[in-house]
Amino acid sequence: MRPAPLWWLLGALVLAEIGYPLTSGRARAALVVVTVCLGYAISAGHAYATRGPRTAGVLVLVTTGGGFLVEAVGRSTGYPFGDYDYTGALGPRLLGVPLVVALAWTWMAWPAWVAAGRLAARTLPRIAVAGAGLAAWDLFLDPQMVSQQYWLWHAGTAGLPGVPDIPLMNYLGWLVVAVVLMALLHLGIGDDPALANNDAPMYAMYLWTYASSILAHVAFLGLPGSAAWGALGMGLVAIPLAVRLWRC
């Protein structure tokens, strides 16, 4: 897949996400699945087009396979995210985990990794930035999905102010898992320098996800708490990335 078709897919992703607050019920759930599949195709396609089949294969193995594994373990044991379960709204499930959830890990793991490469040259800082960049996305994702009852926690525990339905353990679990996945990704693909214009679709997807999530949570979804926390958390990567790109 050449970079040009990736922009067309990214345009389709943007349209799908714009449609999310305009729908409800089964149509909204179907649009979630479509959005994740588009994001997955963009990330895996970009890895293949710019780094080759080996990198794309490692990305899928680590983030799709690893994402599914940690979700299956988390759902059955309560670790590392807390005691939660999925409803049947997001399509086919394996071991109780919707298959689309595994794809979502890859969707945002790759742009987080690529963005971190623009911000940090050394290995350990890049892994840390990439892990934080992926984990911070969940500050938007979980409140949005829980508000639609796509998944739910069984026991109420302390959460972030303004976001009472998500336990703090979930966010900490995301951070740990995200950093481990990024470390495994680096182990599999080695040094991976930024590729300037070839990485533009990933920069655009990461920044679009950040800005559109803030807008959607504030203006359309009635989730001001997660809008604020997501703006703060994901902004730690998105804002420096935007500044770096603006200056180049």
What is the C-alpha to C-alpha distance for residues 75 and 85, in angstroms, rounded to an integer? 6
In the numeric block, the tokens 């976001």 are attached to: 163
Predicted pLDDT of residue 195: 81
Phi, psi angle pair for 124, to nearest 5°:
-65, -45
Question: What residues does each domain of the chain span?
Answer: 3-247
Alpha-carbon gap, residue 38 to 55, rounded angstroms: 19
Backbone phi, psi, residue 164, to 5° = -75, -15
Q: Is the pTM of this model over 0.85?
A: yes
Contacts of the segment 116-124: beta carbons below 8 A, 24+ positions apart: 116/182, 116/237, 117/192, 117/193, 117/194, 117/199, 118/194, 118/199, 118/203, 118/241, 118/244, 118/245, 119/237, 119/240, 119/241, 119/244, 123/186, 123/191
pLDDT at 194: 77
Please identify which residue in the block is written with the tokens 């670790």: 79
**Backbone dihedral angles phi then psi of residue 90, each to the nearest 5 degrees:** -100, 25
What pLDDT does 158 receive? 75
Cα–Cα distance for residue pair 39/189, rounded to 1 Å: 21
Using 50 as the pLDDT threshold, list the residues of the chain that sit under it: none
> If you search the block for the tokens 């049947």, which residue do you land on?
88
Closest alpha carbon to 81 in 145, 161, 148: 145
What is the model's pLDDT at position 3? Answer: 60
